Structures are given as structure tokens and as C-alpha cells.
Amino acid sequence: MNREKRTEIFTRWRNANPKPTTELNYSNPFELLIAVILSAQATDVGVNKATDKLYPVANTPETIYALGVKGLSEYIKTIGLYNSKAKNVIATCKMLIDLHNSQVPNNREDLEALPGVGRKTANVVLNTAYGHPTMAVDTHIFRISNRTKIAPGKNVIEVEKRLVRLIPEEFLIDAHHWLILHGRYVCMARKPKCGECMIYDLCEFNKKTA
């Protein structure tokens, strides 16, 4: 796919949705970090249901840490893998308190050192909370990048690096959200809604290899 096509694709997405954001509910970087940790192998809707009950009670490293693993588990037990996630969140809160003055780090190294935080989670926080031009490649973005040929790659890291390199700079801050929303609601894995797709004429999807 050439630069002109990519530019037109992202221009259309921007015109349709000028200020895209995550569908996770949060009001500060810490709430976002916890929500993203909880969202692994879970839906945003499911995470929001849990955090909508949790955050009015505890939404700082100190207050969540005070709940302990057992107390936190009661709030997030509707989310998959809640036991391991509760342990990671409590350990992360402890590290934030001890090492970062209860603040969420604004750099990849410190973020990825937190329990339960991998590259994708760090990228979401850096992009959504702090405005870094990072690309958190989930299953939706990996699929869209390869299917449309916006930035095909054999693995997540390869796709991430190609997206950051190939997407025109003016779109980079918001590109992560447009790609996820497109994959979530239009270009689904099994039955993409090509008839409803605003970039259908630009897409290089080969249906024979889908």
C-alpha cells in the first residue's frame, strides 16, 4: 500500500471521528493503567462494569493496595483471570507507591517493569494518557494491518514498528484508536462488514486468503 492510500484512509477516519479515544472508563493515568491491566483477554464493557464499582471506592495506588488481593478480587471477579490480575494490580500499586511517588511513569522502561504490564499495555498508557505516538497492537490492529495491507507483518512487533514508520505523522497520535474501532465494529475477524466500510475502495484485502 502506498503513502497516498494510507493518508486517505486515515483522513476518512479522522473526518468521521476527529477525537477518538479508548472505550475504557478512566479519569486519570492511574485508572487507565489499572483498566488496561484488567482488559487482557477481557472486553472493555466487562472491565468498565467492574471499575465503575471499584473506582468510587478505590482509585489510587494507596486505596487499591489497602483492599489487598482478596478485597480487590471481589470487585473484579466477573473478569477473566481475575485472581492473577488482582495479584498483579496489588503488586503494581505497591511499586508505584514505593518507587514512583504513587504516579504512573511516563516512560516505557518503568511501565514495563510493573507487574502485569507488557509492551502493549505500556503503549496504551503512553499514547492515551501521555500523548506519545505509540502503537499498541492488539488482535484487532494486527488483523487490520495485515488484511488491509496498511502495514503487514508476521508478528506484533513487526506490525507495530511498520505502523509507526508508515502512518503519516499527523495521524499517529490517534491511529491506534481508529484501527481498534475499525476492527471492533467494521472489519471483524470472521465476517467483515465490507458493505459498510468507509475505506472499502482503498483496502487491499484479498478475500481468497482471508
Average pLDDT over the chain reads 95
> Residue 206's pLDDT is what?
60
H or E stretch including 191?
none
Mean pLDDT over residues 62-85, rounded?
A: 97
Question: Is 29-128 in the same CATH topology as 3-20+134-209?
Answer: no
Mean pLDDT over residues 39-43, rounded?
A: 92
Name the CATH architecture for the domain at 3-20+134-209.
Orthogonal Bundle (1.10)
CA 113 to chain centre: 18
Catalytic residue among 138, 191, 193, 208: 138
Mean pLDDT over residues 120-140, rounded?
A: 96
Q: Per residue in 145-184, pLDDT tens? A: 999 999 999 999 999 999 999 999 999 999 999 999 999 9
Contacting residues for 169 by C-beta, under 8 A, at least 6 apart: 133
Domain coordinates of the chain in residue numbers? 3-20+134-209, 29-128
> Residue 209's pLDDT is what?
40
Residue-wise DSSP of 22-66: -SS--SSHHHHHHHHHHTTTS-HHHHHHHHHHHTTT--SHHHHHH
Share of the chain above pLDDT 70, in %: 98
Q: Is 126's pLDDT higher than 50?
A: yes
pTM of full prediction above 0.75: yes
What is the C-alpha to C-alpha distance for residues 185 and 87, in angstroms, rounded to an integer? 32
Helix pair 172-185, 139-148: axis angle to 10 deg = 90
Q: Is 210's pLDDT higher than 50?
A: no
Widest CA span in the chain? 54
Contacting residues for 83 by C-beta, under 8 A, at least 6 apart: 69, 73
Alpha helices in 79-171 (DSSP H): 82-99, 108-112, 119-128, 139-148, 156-166
Annotated catalytic residue 77 = no
Annotated catalytic residue 201 = no
Catalytic residue among 52, 77, 120, 174: 120
Name the CATH architecture for the domain at 29-128.
Orthogonal Bundle (1.10)
Q: Per residue in 188-200, pLDDT tens? A: 999 999 999 999 9
